[in-house]
Structure 1
Amino acid sequence: MKRTAITRRLAGLGGAKWDLHLRARELAAQCRDIIELTIGEPDVPTPPELVEAASDAMRQGRTAYSSGRGEAGLRRALAEHYTQRTGREIAADQVLCFPGTQTALFAVLLGVAEAGDEVLVGDPMYATYEGVIRACGATMVPVPLRPENGFRIAAADIAERITSRTRAILITTPHNPTGAVLTTEDLEAIGQLAQLHDLWIVSDEVYADLVFDGSSFRSPLSHSGLAERVIVASSISKSHAAPGFRSGWCIGPGEFTRNLLPLSESMLFGNQPFIADMTEKAVREGSSVASGMRDRFSARAALLTRRLADESRLAVHQPQAGMFAMVNVAATGMNGRDYALDLLNRAGVAVMPGTSFGATMTGWVRVALTIEDDGFNTACDRIIAHANAIREDVA
């Protein structure tokens, strides 16, 4: 039977990038002692008050069809939230609701690019970005994120890759996997390029509430001069420890969201009303768990940085935000994928190869900061012992 072009474009993407994580789960199911540091699962359960809000809404009959835009109360709450966050007036008709950031990004990319177009994105990148870009038929153009620039995407590197086919710049701030946070100056320089070349800026901001002390978050949506070309995607998955509820959104110019609505309705026709009610409560009241996660993730990143520097030849890029730290494993003489497989098989610690996030990360792995402190300390012990064993083997 014939396959469609989109299935060919997406071959090898999606779940294939998570094969090491899946292998770790298989070993754990065989009763192997595995410490899992692979995915960005919050280290606390969804707050009970949000679970109860969803349950109450279901009991009250909030299980009927939704508006294609999303429930009116949630869209008003998001408009008010982003008005306060950005200092710009954001209206409810600039909001579309989706089941999670992933779906929002999929729809948004279909709304800004198509076959023959190009989308610029930092390398490394979140593992699904290549898929959402390929899905719309566009070509992904990687922009190297340099360690010496703190892994922040640089306007000069973007400028070198803009062509007549470029339609959008996809940014992530705070960044996954590196934890970098773009500065106001970074965003202004990117915005100038977007204005000069008439480009969209798509900003994935799912980690905006997980910025560590000493850094501050700013969205390109705050820049009034970019009002007609910035689209933000986010969700409550990270900020409210609610990834399984799949509740996200995009915020963009009113004309863009109106034009995207038929696509959204063709895909989904809105999210579940009872989840929308829970999300409205989450947005209006803020997160009861974000500050604790920020403190714990920051402390674990500092611990990992200190211990690997003192006790091994591995080097950590200390993140400014998020749930992960990148570790440079080049000193082992192994590439990141071989290192991650060896670490899993010999030490029982599962981390993600850097190449799951881009071609520039051959000598790196991503370590999740999301397990409890005792387990994380044990993982550090194992990583250090494994690295030193490799050194002895080579010697």
Structure 2
Amino acid sequence: MTGNTSRLAKRVKLADAHLITRMLEIADGLDDVIKLGRGDPDLDTPAHIVTAGQQALANGATHYTHPQGIAPLREAIARNIAAFGGADYAPDEIIVTPGGQQAMFIIALTLLDPGDEMIVPCPGYNPYGQAAELSDADVVKIPMGMETNFTLTAAMIEPHLTPRSKVLVLINPNNPTGSVTPPDEVRKIAELARKHDLIVISDEIYARLVFGNHRVQPVAALPGMRERTITLSGFSKAYAMTGWRVGYIAGPRELIVPMSEINHAFAISTAAVSQHAALAALTGPQDCVEEMRQIYEGRRRAICAGLDAMGMTYAEPQGAFYVYANVASLDLGIGAGAFCERLLAEGRVMIYPGTIYGDHTDDFVRMSMTQPVDRIRIAMQRMAAVVAGIRAERLQDAG
């Protein structure tokens, strides 16, 4: 079948080797690469959560569970949502999924028909667009920029609305930019959704990881929004549980029931051991979340200090664990994608270009706070050296 694409379904979008794949191949041939690319925390899952998983296995948590998840976990999720200012949900209005990413596809396949439009922020987390495409729906990208610190606004959205607009995605805090949508702006977006009868996917997976005085306003808690909002979150980021694969969807019963059937068809249920670990995450001590948030705060300062020293501008990192930096501000004569490849090959630092996340420019890069501060400082030194090398080349070429 080598080279024969005629057997592939039309929904398969073929492309050259993905940039991340190329970069991983480059990294395989290098020693001592500092990886500031992936959104996978380097921090370990807190010990009490791991212990709960081990005990669950010893007690026989090795079988299918209820398709929507074990009842104690769904009850704990409902309490947790309410405790952080969200809407009130019954346990049967929650689905535990094998990670938040699968939840995106379940939502899209349940809500979108061919020709429907899903409105997504750009840059934003790219699997939302993939989920819409697999549903044969159209993706409408709303470009964001530095002028709003890459914050999605109602004024940006409204000109893109059509009679086919059905689902609006709000990622708050945003991946890849780390911006937090102000509560007043969330209210304006909610008003727009009510006016145009939109369903909102409120992705709040980074909501526990915010800095300074920033605060995440849960969409479903706003007037008239519970019945038209799907809240998506999970345990990967706040509890460093990426490998456990536990996410969840919360929403009105009339939408959750059909979503549950699709989730059942995909996975039958989320791994039982992971669900018991997630239950321990919510019901156990929460100081681990604050400890990790403070670690990210220190790393954020280290990245920003290194960028400031280089004269590289960036969006204010208000939440999540990313810094979105502007390569174009260095005036190097190359785009963000080319810069990432050179930084990896010459500086042994891996970061990702914003084009991976749908950015309409090739100007920005995403840096993850997923290395200790001392490694981040070394990464910033290596980056400065690569920048100096590129500038020296340009001077030589100009001469």
Q: CA deviation at 1:24?
A: 4.5
Change over 3 Å in CA distance of 1:237–1:287 after alignment to 2: farther
Equivalent position of 1:335 in the other structure: 335
Equivalent position of 1:26 in the other structure: 28
Change over 3 Å in CA distance of 1:333–1:289 after alignment to 2: farther
Equivalent position of 1:317 in the other structure: 315
TM-score (norm: length of structure 2): 0.93
Structure 2 residue matching 1:160: 3-state secondary structure = helix
Q: Return 5+ residue gaps in structure 2 as ranges.
A: 1-5
Equivalent position of 1:172 in the other structure: 171
Equivalent position of 1:80 in the other structure: 79
Q: CA deviation at 1:46?
A: 0.9
Distance 1:236 1:50 in 2: 11
Match of residue 2, structure 1, among 2, 7, 28: 7
Structure 2 residue matching 1:108: 3-state secondary structure = helix
Change over 3 Å in CA distance of 1:17–1:199 after alignment to 2: farther
Equivalent position of 2:3 in the other structure: none
The amino acid that maps onto 1:22 is L
Does the 8 Å CA contact 1:240/1:287 hold for their aligned counterparts? no
Once the two structures are superposed, residues 277-331 of structure 1 have per-residue CA deviations (whole angstroms, 9 ceiling, x without a partner) of 1111112235443222222222322232233223x23222230011111111112
Aligned identity (percent) is 28
Equivalent position of 1:150 in the other structure: 149
Equivalent position of 1:11 in the other structure: 14
Does the 8 Å CA contact 2:45/2:241 hold for their aligned counterparts? yes
Distance 2:272 2:222 in 1: 32
Structure 1 residue matching 2:176: 3-state secondary structure = coil
Change over 3 Å in CA distance of 1:33–1:40 after alignment to 2: same
Q: CA deviation at 1:174?
A: 0.6
Change over 3 Å in CA distance of 1:229–1:21 after alignment to 2: farther
Equivalent position of 1:356 in the other structure: 356
Q: CA deviation at 1:241?
A: 0.6
Change over 3 Å in CA distance of 1:175–1:87 after alignment to 2: closer
Does the 8 Å CA contact 2:27/2:344 hold for their aligned counterparts? no
Structure 2 residue matching 1:119: 3-state secondary structure = strand
Once the two structures are superposed, residues 344-395 of structure 1 have per-residue CA deviations (whole angstroms, 9 ceiling, x without a partner) of 1111111101111113241111111110111111001011121122222212
Once the two structures are superposed, residues 186-243 of structure 1 have per-residue CA deviations (whole angstroms, 9 ceiling, x without a partner) of 1111111111111100011111111112211211022132010010111110111110
Does the 8 Å CA contact 2:46/2:239 hold for their aligned counterparts? yes
Equivalent position of 1:102 in the other structure: 101
Does the 8 Å CA contact 1:86/1:221 hold for their aligned counterparts? no
Does the 8 Å CA contact 1:125/1:357 hold for their aligned counterparts? yes
TM-score (norm: length of structure 1): 0.94
Does the 8 Å CA contact 1:81/1:284 hold for their aligned counterparts? no
Equivalent position of 2:237 in the other structure: 238
Q: CA deviation at 1:246?
A: 0.2
Q: Return 5+ residue gaps in structure 1 as ranges.
A: none
Structure 1 residue matching 2:257: 3-state secondary structure = helix
Equivalent position of 1:43 in the other structure: 42
Q: CA deviation at 1:17?
A: 5.0
Which residues of 2 match residues 1-395 of structure 1 at below 5 A?
2-6=7-11, 8=12, 10-12=13-15, 16=18, 18-28=20-30, 32-86=31-85, 88-285=87-284, 287-310=286-309, 312-330=310-328, 331-395=331-395
| RMSD (Å) for aligned C-alpha atoms | 1.7
Structure 1 residue matching 2:337: 3-state secondary structure = helix
| Number of positions where the alignment pairs a residue of Structure 1 with one of Structure 2 | 388
Distance 1:271 1:22 in 2: 29
